[in-house]
């Protein structure tokens, strides 16, 4: 998946593998192997790729999830958009925790009280 993302990002930018590999300070063959998923970049290379394409590392590694997010955000409802935007701001662990919490609410049909801040 990372290789496909690197290929698509490079093609969208209309640049060669040589240009990217020179930016990274690696051989073109090494970069080609990244795109073919024959080799994975180390963390230093991922950081440089993230900077080069001006996207977060998470997006670089999981570009399809973000495409899904963009598609889902076409929903008309402001409430749904707001919920989804907040969801995608959470890290993966907290997204899973939230999903567990939602499943509990649905399973037991809780009317969970809204906790309001007390004014002091």
Q: Does domain 2-65 have CATH number 1.20.1740.10?
A: no
Task: Specify the pTM.
Answer: 0.52
Kindly state the average pLDDT of the residues 4-29: 92
Say if CB 52 and CB 23 are below 8 A apart: yes
Q: Best-predicted range by mean pLDDT among 33-42, 48-57, 66-75, 101-110?
A: 33-42
pLDDT at 100 over 90: no
Alpha-carbon distances of 51 from 9, 16, 45, 104, rounded to whole Å? 12, 17, 10, 40
pLDDT at residue 25 in the model: 95
In DSSP notation, 54-100 reads TS-HHHHH-HHHHHHHHHHTT-S-HHHHHHHHHHHHS-HHHHHHHHH
Say if CB 49 and CB 26 are below 8 A apart: no
What is the percent of the chain with per-residue pLDDT over 70, rounded to a whole number?
77
Say if CB 63 and CB 5 are below 8 A apart: yes
Six token digits for residue 102: 């939602």
Phi/psi of residue 55, nearest 5 degrees: -135, 150
pLDDT at 40 over 70: yes
Rounded to whole angstroms, the Cα distance separating 96 from 87 reads 10
């Amino acid at each position: 998946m990372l290789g496909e993302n690197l290929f698509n990002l490079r093609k969208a930018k209309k640049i060669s593998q040589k240009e990217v590999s020179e930016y990274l300070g690696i051989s073109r063959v090494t970069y080609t192997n990244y795109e073919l998923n024959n080799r994975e970049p180390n963390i230093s290379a991922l950081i440089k790729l993230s900077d080069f394409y001006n996207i977060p590392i998470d997006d670089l590694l999981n570009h399809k999830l973000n495409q899904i997010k963009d598609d889902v955000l076409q929903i008309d409802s402001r409430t749904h958009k707001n919920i989804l935007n907040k969801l995608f701001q959470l890290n993966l662990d907290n997204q899973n925790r939230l999903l567990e919490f939602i499943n509990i609410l649905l399973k037991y049909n809780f009317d969970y009280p809204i906790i309001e801040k007390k004014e002091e």
